[in-house]
Amino acid sequence: MANLTREIRRRIKSVKNIAQVTKAMEAVSAAKMRKAQQQVLATRPYSNQAREVLGYIARLSSTENELNPLIHPRPVKRVGILLVTADRGLAGGFNANIIRRCAQLMREKRKEGADVTVVAVGKKGREWLLRYDPVVRAEFMGIPDNPTTYDIGPIVR
C-alpha cells in the first residue's frame, strides 16, 4: 500500500512539473509572437511608402493611353523564387504551406513557358527542393532568427 501511495505522489508531481514546463513554454511562445507582430507592424511605413512611390510611377505617362515604360507589361521568360523555410521542423504547418505554395507556383510558371530557378533558404526547403526539383540555383542554411545585413549579404548577391 505504501508503494502505491508513493507511486501516485510521484506521478502527481510529474504531472505538475509537466504543467509548469508547458506554462513556461506558452509564455515564451506568446512573447515571441508579440515580438514578431511588432516587427511586422514596424514594416508598415515602408510598405505604405513603397506603394505610394509605385502609384506615382504608374501615373507618370507620356500620353493618355501609353503606359510608363517602367511598368509596361512584357513577356516573362525567367522566374526566380526565393524559398524561405525553417532549418528545423518545429514550425507547425509553416514549412509545409510555404513548400506547397512554391510547388504550385513552379508548376504554374513552367506551364506558362518560363524558366524557373529557386534559391532555398533553410534546411527544410532545401531538402524538399532536392527531392522535388534537383535544379537548385543556391542554398543557404543556418540563418539566425534575427538576421543582420551581414547575414543576408550572400543571399541577395
The three grid cell numbers given for residue 43, joined into one nine-digit string: 514594416
Q: 124 or 70: whose pLDDT is higher?
A: 124
Q: What is the pLDDT of residue 63?
A: 60
- Report pLDDT for 21: 94
pLDDT of 62 strictly over 60: no
**pLDDT tens string 126-156:** 888 888 876 777 777 777 777 777 777 777 7
Express each pLDDT in 84-93 by its tens digit.
Answer: 888 877 777 8
- Mean pLDDT, to the nearest integer, of 18-44? 92
Higher pLDDT, 22 or 3: 22
Rounded Cα gap, residues 75 and 87, in angstroms: 35
pLDDT over 80 at 1, yes or no: no
Cell of residue 7, nine digits:
507511486
pLDDT mean over 57-68: 68
Task: Summarize the confidence of residues 101-116 as an average pLDDT.
Answer: 92
Would you state the torsion angle of the CA atoms of residues 54, 55, 61, 65, taken in this order, to the nearest 10 degrees? Answer: 120
Q: Hey, is 113 helix, strand or coil?
A: coil
Judge contact between 105 and 81, C-beta under 8 A: yes
CATH for 75-156, options being 1.10.540.10, 3.90.420.10, 1.10.472.50, 3.40.1380.10: 3.40.1380.10
| Average pLDDT across the chain, whole number | 85
Q: Does the pLDDT of residue 59 top 70, yes or no?
A: yes
In the prediction, which pLDDT does 64 show?
62
Spatial distance between the Cα atoms of 7 and 77, rounded to a whole number of angstroms: 69
φ, ψ of residue 12 to 5 degrees: the values are -60, -45
Residue 38: its H or E element: helix 2-42
